[in-house]
Structure 1
Amino acid sequence: MGSRNRPPHLTHPPAHGLVPAVGFSALAQAAPLLTNLVLTPYLIHHLGLDRFGVWSLLLVLLATLTVLDGGIGASLARFHARHAALGDREGAGRLVVASLAAFAGLGVLVTALCLVLTPAVVAALDVPVRLRGEAEQLLLFLGPLLTAALASNSAVALLQANARFRALAGVSAGSCLTYAVAVVVLVDHGPDLPLLAVLAAGRYLLVTAGGLAVGARHLRIRRPLLPPRAERRDFGGYAVRMQLSGFTVFLNGEIDALVIAALLPVRYVGVYAAGYQAANALRSLPLYAFPPILTRMTHVHARHGLTGAVREFHVLEVRWLPAVLTYGVVTTAAVGLAVQVWLGSALALSGAVAAVLLAGYSVQVALTGIRTCFVRAIGKPGYETRYSWFATAVNLVLTVPLTLLFGVVGVVLATAVGLTAGSAYFVVLCRRLAGLRERRLPRHWPAATALAAAIAVLGNLMVLRLDVHGVLPLLLAGLPVLVGLAVAAALLLPGLTALAPLEEEETP
């Protein structure tokens, strides 16, 4: 009997171990963000703000192209999870081979385009004359860097789908530590941007090699090397819808940096990048729960159908919404001050960018988080696409007037408003799709959240008055935020623990 005909089998039952899985998933995803937070002051100091702005622009282009990969990367987790639920190692092997081949092709295409377009791109941007040659060299690394980054996503998806979060954390943390040490040892004052690109590519290759080595027992490479036509068609349709959603990530996020690069000196890309990095890092903390939640919900849907997935949504959402909203309010209140502690008061504008973006991100993650996992798990990513494009349309309509009124902050304000409007629309769509509903927030939620935010802001003001900056002071600024969140948790947790999901309440 072929492996595709085996009965459903779960090496890791989805109903157990979600909390430790979220913890290790958080460590795996936090490692690159923490590495960037630590290295950013070092790079600004050693490279200078103009050269750091050029490096930030390359990272923006890399992030953009990573999102615009045809939806392949965003689809791998769901299809690997289905193979894992069915014990289909050969299917997983074909999926790995096909994804790596596709990513290599994308890298070749981008490299060819960069060879032709790099001089025109650099000339169109406000790059200082002394840095143009270095910027052109750097952009030629974009294709290989893209292939390495996407290949690492394939290895990561394989481990996530098989609930190998502990191993994933080890691979991610090890590669980031190696990268950080290499940057500190090798990068000095001067034209070191191509070297930075080589080191970044090396980090991605370490993740790929380590992830595939650890995940080797979950796949089997046999002919035919590519998935059958029916699966390719299914994957392709899913990936197209995921790509349409992913394109809105570009329009709602990465395009802000490109607009700034087109209208302002390149150093302002670095100013924006610092604020965006802070907001994105804080936004990502709740998102660390996504891989294990998506894996669990996909397994539940594979075994129990739509009814099981709906019930799983209500079990998770009843605690997700108040917890994430509290986290979002507290961190949004404190992030502007924290950025000044991190980089100095001269970059207060970066703090304003971070605060505005994080406000929109917080609403988006709170309202759409578990819903996103739900629609992906049941094979309906088109609903995510619809809300994403609605958010993008609102963003594009508001960008010009808000930019004229508020400058750089207006660019990100349009993004925040668009994300908020789109998230509300997604709630409506999911209610129509499967009757997904919300509870009211707990009665003590406003007072507990306001108290937590006040503690975080006052604590950050005290740290800012010390007039010391860098990573260690930033860690100190994080302490009052943690204290505030702990106070809110103590006030809210008893009520949240007592909550029953809607499905249980309606059971006779």
Structure 2
Amino acid sequence: MVPSVGFSALAQAAPLLTNLLLTPYLIGRLGLDRFGVWSLILVFLATLTVLDGGVGASLARFHAYHAARGDRDGTGRLVIGSLALFLCFGALVTVGCVLLAPTATAALDVPPRLREEAHRLLMALGPLLTLALASNSAVALLQAGGRFRALAAVSGGSCLVYAVAVTTLIEEGADLPLLAVLTAGRYLLVTVGGLAAGARQIRIRRPLLPTRAERREFGRYALRMQLSGFTVFLNGEIDALVVAGLLPVRYVGIYAAGYQAAMGLRSLPLFAIPPVLTRITHVYARHGLPGAVGEFHALQARWLPAALTYGVVTTAVVSVAVQVWLGPALALSGAVAAVLLAGYSVQVAFTGVRTCFVRAIGRPGYETRYSWAATVVNLALTVPFALLWGVVGVVLATAVGVAAGSLYFVALCRRAGLRRGDGRLPRRWLPATALAAALAVLGDLLVLELGWHGVLPLLLAGLPVLAGLAAATALLGPELAPRRVPVKQGGPP
């Protein structure tokens, strides 16, 4: 599975690295106010992408299940049905934007000189949404078929074309509509390239759309995934909307930079999740629940200590790293990133493989319940924390909520057949993690003292982090050797 994880990492790292490289460039070219408007549009796009009825989040599981059984006809019906649904959703959003765009731009604290650009961007939101969802469908198809090499090529190629186009065509001034067109082009490249690369997994026969039984099964699963997805909005994207409602639009850009840093670092260990989901789903399809449980415990024994070490180290250095990246003037972005990443680190460590397990065995309701528990805690804390600590209080409520919900998920998953004792850490975990964090923080502080800012100094700041993680790996390596739990064989229930 190591090659699959590597190519999955390349595929998911490409958009993150592209944003990393382009953010300082766009802030310099567009200005902080205009960049704040663009960030707000991306928040709207991310929110609507999550609120797609759970379809996008469900595709990887059902594509993988069809692939495990060699059901190319079922995959073809699912591809056509999902694309048709996304087209309808995008059209509906377009109509809504036509009706509501003037009201929305007037309600937000957008400078008068930027309102016309903001209005035009809102008009492009529907087509952007359709293409974004379609690209996610193509990505899910390749993930489910284990086509991670092709996925890396498609993702990397589209990001390279996008980055070249942005740096070539975006000039100082009113270029936000052009930026939206270039973004749409990147989504289109991923969609076309992904469907072409995954064509051998698809067979198109009548009926073209999923049957009633398939729609019923998919719909039940997707509904529960949508309930979970809605909490992603409440625990993440709503923070930006709160900032937009309380502060001038430039603070959305400040928040977006910190959020981007936290989400980028959070995403790195999650590069392994698509292959893990595919693997557990295939095991479940062939050997039933006992096989899936054994696979989970074998993977979790290595995932938990590695993910927690990574989370502690990156949380310790992210505030300094953001200042190296964007300069001391955006130190508030660094504080936002550190607070969010602390909560996300707990979430990734305790829910990463568990999420794959409950999705693979067809019980996403457990994920839904923990997501809503996290949301309730978050919403209860947002107002008092915001009154006490402002913008940092808003993200602190999110961090506490996702951490509390993640621990609740651990308890829930025991009802699905997971035994106790999978949360134990190796004996050397604490000293190894402390050493790694100390090396990373000291190294990044030295880089910050140099007074250099931008992408290249940020890459330099990454070297102490890598050195610290390498030291922790050397200490923990013998204790993280693969362990497999023998299980009885059986078919899916």
**Structure 1: which 4+ aligned runs deviate by more than 4 Å?**
498-504
Find the aligned partners of 1:401 and 1:74 in 2 and give their Cα distance.
33
Query: Using a 3 Å threshold, how does the CA distance of structure 1 residues 118 and 392 change in structure 2: closer, same or farther?
Result: same
Distance across 1 between alignment mates of 2:487 and 2:38: 50
Question: Does residue 487 in structure 1 map to residue 487 in structure 2?
Answer: no
Cα–Cα, structure 1 residues 414 and 22, in superposed 2: closer, same or farther, change >3 Å? Answer: same
Q: Are 1:78 and 1:161, in contact at CA under 8 Å, matched by a contact in 2?
A: yes
Question: Corresponding residue for 2:491?
Answer: none
For residue 372 of structure 2, what is the aligned residue in structure 1? 389
1:464 matched to 2:471? The reply is: no
2-side partners of 1:120 and 1:491: how far apart? 58
> Measured at CA, do residues 116 and 329 of structure 1 come closer, stay the same or move farther in structure 2, by a change above 3 Å?
same
Q: For 1:31-42, what aligned pairs fall within 5 Å after superposition?
A: 31-42=14-25
- TM-score by length of structure 1 reads 0.95
Q: Does 1:407 align with 2:407?
A: no
The one-letter code sitting in structure 2 at the alignment partner of 1:457 is V
| 1:408-447 deviation line (CA, Å, top 9, x unaligned) | 1000000000001100000000012213331421111111
Spell out the pairing of 1:200-239 with structure 2 (5 A cutoff): 200-239=183-222
DSSP 3-state at the match of 1:306: helix
Counterpart CA distance in 1 for 2:303 and 2:367 is 19
1:330-354 per-residue CA deviation (whole Å, 9 max, x = no partner) reads 0000000000000000000000000
Contact 2:291 2:487 in 1 (8 A): no
* Alignment match of 2:108 (pick from 117, 125, 134): 125
Unaligned 5+ residue runs, structure 2?
489-493
Question: C-alpha distance in 2, partners of 1:203/1:318?
Answer: 38
Q: Distance in 1 between matches of 2:372 and 2:482?
A: 37
- Counterparts of 2:199 and 2:42 in 1: how far apart (Å)? 30
Partner residue, 2:262: 279
Q: 2:475 aligned with 1:496, yes or no? A: no
Alignment of 1:21-420 (within 5 A): 21-420=4-403
1:10 maps to which residue? none
Structure 1 residues 503, 477: CA separation in 2 closer, same or farther (over 3 Å shift)?
Answer: farther
Gapped regions of structure 1 (runs ≥ 5): 1-17
User: 1:314·1:502 contact (CA, 8 Å) conserved in 2?
Assistant: no
Distance in 1, matches of 2:143 and 2:218, equals: 18
CA distance in 2 between counterparts of 1:21 and 1:498 reads 17
CA contact (8 A) 2:294 2:484 kept: no
Matched residue pairs, number?
A: 487
- Following TM superposition, by how much is the alpha carbon of 1:470 offset from its aligned partner in structure 2, in angstroms? 0.5
* Distance of 2:182 and 2:122 partners within structure 1: 15
Give SS of 2:481's match: helix
Report how far residue 223 of structure 1 moved.
Answer: 1.3
For the Cα contact (< 8 Å) 1:314–1:503, is it kept in 2? no
Q: Deviations over 1:190-209 (max 9, x none)?
A: 10000000000000000000
Letter in 1 for 2:171: D
TM-superposed CA distance for 1:81, in Å, is 0.5
Please tell me whether the aligned partners of residues 318 and 501 of structure 1 are also in contact (alpha carbons under 8 angstroms). no
CA RMSD of the aligned region, Å? 1.0
